[in-house]
Each structure stands twice: as C-alpha cells, then as structure tokens.
Structure 1
Amino acid sequence: MIVVDPRALTQPVGVVRLMATVFTCVSFSLVASAGHVVSSPYWAWCMFTWCFCFFFTLLILVLEFTSVHAKLPFAWDDFTTAFALLASLMCLSVSIMYPVFFTCQACPRQIGASVVSWVCFGFYAAEAVLTRLRPSGQNSGFLSSLPGIMKMLEAFLACLIFTSLENSQYVGSPGLQWCVAVYCLCFIFAILVIILSAGRLASFFPFPFEKLVIVYNILAAVMYLTATVIWPLYSLRGNKRPSNCGHLCAWDKLVVVTFMTILNVIVYTLDTAYSILLVFCVRSQ
C-alpha cells in the first residue's frame, strides 16, 4: 500500500533535492535551447550529466514521497548517499568542462547554464553532507563508505577518459591500445566490485572477497601506472599543440586523458593502501 509522506519534500534533504531537480532542468534546458554541438563528446557528457541527475533526483523524490523506497530490496540510505556523491562529481566535472569548451562572452545562455551548473553542484554537495550525517552507531553501506566512494571515483574518472578517447588516437599504436585496454578492463572490474559489494553478493564467493579485491586493486594500480608512462610517451612525444588548435582540439583530449590517468593511478594506489590497512590491520585486531 502506497502511503504519502510529505516530509520527503519538507525536510532539509528533500528541499535540497527539489532545488537540485529544478536547477538541473534549467541547465539542460538552457543548453538545449542554445543548440547542439555536432560531434562533441564533451557536449554530450554535459547534457547526459544534467539529464541523469534530474531524472534520478526526481525519481528519488517520488519514491520517498510515496514511501515506495521502503519496499525496495537494497539499502536505500546507502543508495541515496552514493547518488549524491556521484552527482556532485558529475556536476563538478561539467561545471568546469562546459564553460571551458562552449562558453564565450557573447553567449548568454551558455554563461547562464554554466552558472546554474555550479549551483547544482552546490546542492548535490549539500545533499551528500546531509545524507552522511547519520546518528552515531548507524552503519553505512558499501557505496557510502570510503572504499565504495573510491571505487565510484575510479569508475567516474574512467568515464571521463572514455569521453576524450577517439579511434584515431590509438589505432595502429600497440602502446596506446594497451592503455585503452587498461582503461576498459579496470572500469569493468570496478563496476563488478561495486555491484557485488552493494548487492551483498560477495558472501557467495568460496574465498575471501575482500582479499580478492585487494589483489585486483594492486593489479589495477600497476596497470594504470604503466598507462601513466605509456600514454603521454606515445601520444604527446614529438606532438606539439597545433597553432590553430581551438577549444575542441584533438590534442587537448590527449592531455585530458593523460591527466585523468594520473588521477586514477593515485586513487587506485590510495584504494589499495586503505584496503590492505582495513583487512590486515584493523579487522585482524
């Protein structure tokens, strides 16, 4: 039986979600009215981010308002906290990306969308803070824990790498193809770890799942470390930025991939160190 719960819209978290829904709608409406940018993965990523955040925030509001969320077969608080953190990261990325690539002094709609996007980031960051303020002693799920947050960050950075990749960048180069294979494999396994951990399916493994994750983290960190060296070596060595390179220059995408690769190797290294500390030091006591 569906029971309406008005507190879902009047409590602080509900108000923040309502505002985030409104402002994400304003963002993608302004950008859509400004026109489509042909063959731009960054433009597509920005539009996807605003539409994704709008849809899921509205869905969360509806499920909590109708109390349907209480009947779902997973930890609702864990899911909403993880979504708020993910939406914060996504809005932060597009708030930087969109004004850099698509805003000019004579573009009022693009400027407005950029400003509103920063407002969206502020609301999602506030939601993440509010949803993590649990009563003392209340356990958080995997997604809202530090290992879960780092796993989502690893997958998120991989998505930004995929957004910047083009076939012409790595076709015919075994070294760059190895880097792309690293990005794909680590992304797939990160998603699998998230699904198995969040779905509480790890207990079905006949061996310790946490130690398996540590092995994966070590391998992923080493693989990303090789990509950190190989990608700029093969893609940027002897390849200077063209003089006619604009905001959507292919050379800039090579730099974006390099930067995101460096960030991800740092995250994987921290994830590995924390997992080892958690499993072999903290839980062994």
Structure 2
Amino acid sequence: MVDVDVRALTQPVGIMRIMAAILTCMCFSVAATAGYSSSSYWAWCMFTWCFCFFFTCLIVILEFTTVSAKVPFAWDDFTAAFAMLACLMCLIVSIIYPTFFTCKSCHRAIGASVVSWVCFAIYAGEVVLTRLHPRGETSGFLSTVPGIMKMLETFIACLIFVSLERGQYTGNSGLQWCVAVYSLCFIVSIIIILLTLGQLTSFFPLSFDKLVIVYNILAAVMYTTAMVIWPLYSFDKNKTRPSGCGHFCPWDKLVVVTFMTIFNFIVYTLDTIYSIRLVFCTTSQ
C-alpha cells in the first residue's frame, strides 16, 4: 500500500526540488524554441536540463508517495549525490550555453541562460540543506569523498565525449588509444557506482575496496598516457588556432579534451591516494 507524505512537498528541500523541476523545464523549453543547433554542446545542454528535470520530478514523486522508503538502496545517499551532480551539470551548462548560443538580440537564449543560473543556485541550495541537515543515513558511498570523486570522474569523461569529433581520432592509433582510455575508465567507474549503490559489493570474493584501489591506479596510469599522447598527436599539424576557424572551431574542442584529460588524471590520482589512505592507514589504526 502506498501512503502520501505531504511533508515531502512542503519542507524546504521539497520546495526547492519543485522549483528546480519547474525551472529546468523552462530552460529546455525556452532553449528549444530559441533554435536548434547541430553542435554537441547544444545537445549536452538540452540533455542536462532534461536529465535534471526528469530525476528531480522522479525524486519528488517517490518521496510524496513514500515509495522512496521501499527502494533497495540508500535513498538519502542517492538524493544527496544527485543534487551535487545536478549542481555541477547546471554550472557547466550555465557557462557553455551563453558562451556559444547567445547574442545581443537572442532574447530567448539569454532568458534560458539566466534561468539556468537560477537552477544552479537552487541545486546548490539543496546540496547545502542536505549536507548541513541530513535526514537519514549519511554513510552512503555517493556522499563520501570516494563517491564524489567517482561521480566527478564520470562527469569529466562525459565532457570529453561531448567535445570529441569522430574525424579527430580516426586513422590515428595514438588518439584511438586515448578514446579507448576515456571509454574504459568511464564504463568501469559507472559499474563501480552502480554496484556500490545497489549494495552488491559484498558478493565479490575479494575485497572490493582493494579492487577499486587497483582500478584507480590503472586508470591514473592510463590517463597519464592519454595526457601525453592526446596533445602530442592532436596538435601535431595545428599547433596554433587556425585564423579562419569559426565559432565552433574543432581546434577549440581539442583544447577542451586536453584540459579535461589533465583534470581527470588529477582526480584519479587524488582518488587513488585517498582510497589507499582510507583502506590501509585507517584499517591499520
């Protein structure tokens, strides 16, 4: 039997979620009417707003109907992690969309940009409320430092995929290796998040935490190679930005992939160091 919990809609977090759902719906609706673009950055912006709208509405509905109490994973951990992810995604979109898709006469695009910044502020407020005033268990994986780093690793990988163009790496084995690194690390990180969120790690015959440490070390090493190979081969023939390059210059995307590769290498390295300290140093004490 499904009960109804009105507090899910009237408490501050619930009100902020309803506002976020309304505003993200406004963002992708206004942006869609402002004009279509074939750019992968436009698709990413639309995906972000739709993604945040869908999961925010889902969270509100599940909490209102109290179905959230029956899910087979840590619900408060999931909602806190989603708020942090949505906050980060809205921040990036609020920078990308006005940079590439607004102009002085683009009133709808400007409106979508402003509303997107408001969405970021609302999700940031939800993060503050859930972190300062936890309502349930706070020991969930996604709310811990390793969990946050895993989400950050997958998010940066998504930005890399959005910036990649097929013609940039086809025919070059070095760049293809870099794309393989991005893809493999992304897939494994997603699997780790899902296994931990579903509380399936206890079924592994070996220590799951130590397996994650081994993976983090391998991922950091793989990203080290990509950090060297990608700029070496991608800028081999175009060391400077072409003078006639347009608004969506492929050279700019190469720069974005380069910096995102460096950032993800740093995150994987920090994740490795923290995981080793957490597993071995804390256990020894």
Global fold match (TM > 0.5): yes
CA displacement 1:224-279 (0-9 Å, x = unmatched):
11111111111123402121222211111111101111110010011000000000
Match of 2:85 in 1: 86
Aligned 1:65-214 pairs, distance under 5 A = 65-134=64-133, 138-214=137-213
Deviations 1:202-236 (A, max 9, x none): 11111111111101001101111111111111112
Partner Cα separation in structure 1 for residue 112 and residue 133 of structure 2: 33
Q: Helix, strand or coil for the counterpart of 2:261?
A: helix
| Alpha-carbon separation, structure 2, partners of 1:164 and 1:135 | 37
Corresponding residue of 2:45? 46
- The alignment's C-alpha RMSD in Å is 1.4
- Note the 1:23-38 alignment, pairs <5 A: 23-37=23-37
TM-aligned CA distance change 1:30 to 1:123, over 3 Å: same
Amino acid aligned to 1:2: V
Give a deviation string over 1:103-126, Cα, whole Å, max 9, x none.
Answer: 111111111111111110111111
> 1:93: Cα distance to partner?
1.1
CA distance in 2 between counterparts of 1:155 and 1:284 reads 31
The change in CA–CA distance for 1:77 and 1:136 in structure 2 (over 3 A counts) is closer
State the Cα deviation string for residues 24-72 of structure 1 (Å, max 9, x = none): 11111110111211x2111000001001101110111111111111111
Matched, 1:256 2:256: yes
Q: Which amino acid aligns with 1:69?
A: S
3-state DSSP of counterpart to 2:247? coil
Amino acid of the residue matched to residue 165 of structure 1? L
Alpha carbons 2:77, 2:137 under 8 Å: kept: no
User: Which position in structure 2 is the counterpart of 1:279?
Assistant: 279
Q: Partners of 1:246 and 1:110 in 2: how far apart?
A: 20
Partner of 2:143, secondary structure, is: coil
Q: Which secondary structure does the structure 1 equivalent of 2:139 belong to?
A: coil
Q: 1:135 to 1:162 in 2, by over 3 A?
A: closer
Deviations 1:119-138 (A, max 9, x none): 10111111112112345994
* Cα separation, partners in 2 of 1:137 and 1:98, compared to 1, 3 Å: closer
CA distance in 1, matches of 2:58, 2:200: 25
Gaps of 5+ in 1: none
User: Which amino acid in structure 2 is aligned with residue 94 of structure 1?
Assistant: V
Instruction: Return closer, same or farther for 1:205/1:267 CA change in 2, 3 Å cut-off.
Output: same
Name the aligned partner's letter for residue 216 of structure 1: Y
Counterpart Cα distance in 2 of 1:48 and 1:186: 22
Which position in structure 1 is the counterpart of 2:266?
A: 266
Secondary structure in 2 matching 1:172: coil
Higher mean displacement: 230-239 or 133-142: 133-142
**Residues of 1 paired with 2:9 and 2:136: CA distance?**
26
SS at match of 1:283: helix
How many positions carry a matched residue from both structures?
284
The answer for the alignment partner of 2:226 in structure 1 is: 227
- Asked whether the 8 Å contact 1:34–1:110 carries over to 2, the reply is yes
Q: CA deviation at 1:22?
A: 1.2
Structure 1 letter corresponding to 2:107? P
User: Unaligned regions of 5+ residues in structure 2, if any?
Assistant: none
Q: Residues 27 and 116 of structure 1 are in contact (CA less than 8 Å); yes or no, is this contact kept in structure 2? A: yes
1:20 aligns with 2:20: yes
**In 2, Cα distance between equivalents of 1:136 and 1:102:** 40
CA contact (8 A) 1:100 1:247 kept: no
**Do the aligned partners of residues 5 and 136 (structure 1) sit closer, same or farther apart at CA in structure 2, a change above 3 Å counting?**
closer
Write the mapping of 1:233-252 to structure 2, written as runs, cut at 5 A. 233-239=232-238, 240-252=240-252
Q: What is the distance in 1 between the residues matched to 2:188 and 2:76?
A: 24
